[in-house]
Amino acid sequence: MPEPTLICEVCGNTRQNTIHVAKEMMLGFRDEFEYFECSNCGCLQIKELPSNITKYYPENYDSFRSPAIPKYSFIGKYLRTERDFYTIYQKGIIGKLVSMLKPPSQKLILLKKCNVTFDSNILDIGCGSGQLLLDLNQSGFKNLTGIDPYIKSDIVYDNDVKIFKKEISALECNYDLIMLHHSFEHMPKPLNVFKNISRLLNKSGRVLLRTPTTSSYAWKHYGINWVQLDAPRHLFLHSLKSIEILASTVNLKIKDIVYDSTEFQFWGSEQYARNISLQEEKSYGRNAKKSIFTENEINSFKLKATQLNKEHLGDRICIYLTKE
């Protein structure tokens, strides 16, 4: 029988799409999966969804772990609250001073660009056990909801942070901010996801989308050994063009892009090229002293990641979207 036509789920292109075969290397199963790269929009997408996808999301998968809720002294909590209040509102001399001595988290800084307040209605899609939402609650945010279809059951914390075992299509509320922190690439039917995001977003709301991108040095240099390909968990890896197509289809527009890739794109990909999984004892992420890299090599990876971000060639992006 002839090979079925490969149809890009983003732009519908069927011509000259390229097949790639990638291995599962995070856990070290080394199972092989076929992806194809759209010759028109550059989206890299899995050819067939695995029927046993739960095999690749073990109970100790990062986002499913029990959240760590740090305990602060009265003074410590006060200073953190002042700092985070200053980060969001740009008010308060104490918060300003604290932020100079101990800067807020990167995620809070990214959130600042979304024009949110502590009263904004915020949705985190693919939030796992809700670590980020709990952190935001400690900063002062009040209306926080998360969804993740892979958690065992709904979770409601004592501070009213709510996590639901749901798909985005099941939601009806409207939100001032919708966040996807490295969850979009795990989701099938990206156009349907964008349609639902547009449906749920308030008229003046923002979308904060963080995801790996094929519009990067790492994908072009490492190919199937690119650590962020992460077969088969990452179903769709988007180019800037494919994100633009999805956004324009549902009347969203890109307001800004921040490149936030790290040295992981290098040491992870270099390990995969040498058949070293992320979970092996000699993986840099498990045991730096037993890894194949010297300290100087890791430092050079950090410098190169910083430079690539400046050149808009890093392999991770943070995209801000609004309604047209």
* C-alpha torsion sign, points 151, 152, 153, 159: negative
Residues lower than pLDDT 50 in the chain: 1
C-alpha separations of 32 from 24, 94, 107, 289, 319 in Å: 7, 54, 34, 30, 30
Task: Look at residue 311 in the predicted model and tell me its pLDDT.
Answer: 98
pLDDT tens, residue by residue, 224-263: 999 999 999 999 999 999 999 999 999 999 999 999 999 9
Instruction: Please identify which residue in the block is written with the tokens 């650590």.
Output: 227
Task: Look at residue 70 in the predicted model and tell me its pLDDT.
Answer: 72
Task: Look at residue 236 in the predicted model and tell me its pLDDT.
Answer: 98
Task: Look at residue 44 in the predicted model and tell me its pLDDT.
Answer: 98
Cβ–Cβ < 8 Å for 198, 251: yes
Task: Look at residue 68 in the predicted model and tell me its pLDDT.
Answer: 76
Q: Is the peptide bond before 50 cis (omega within 30 degrees of 0)?
A: no
Q: Compute the distance between CA of residue 216 and CA of residue 228 in angstroms, rounded to an integer.
A: 11
Task: Look at residue 3 in the predicted model and tell me its pLDDT.
Answer: 61
Cβ–Cβ < 8 Å for 297, 266: no
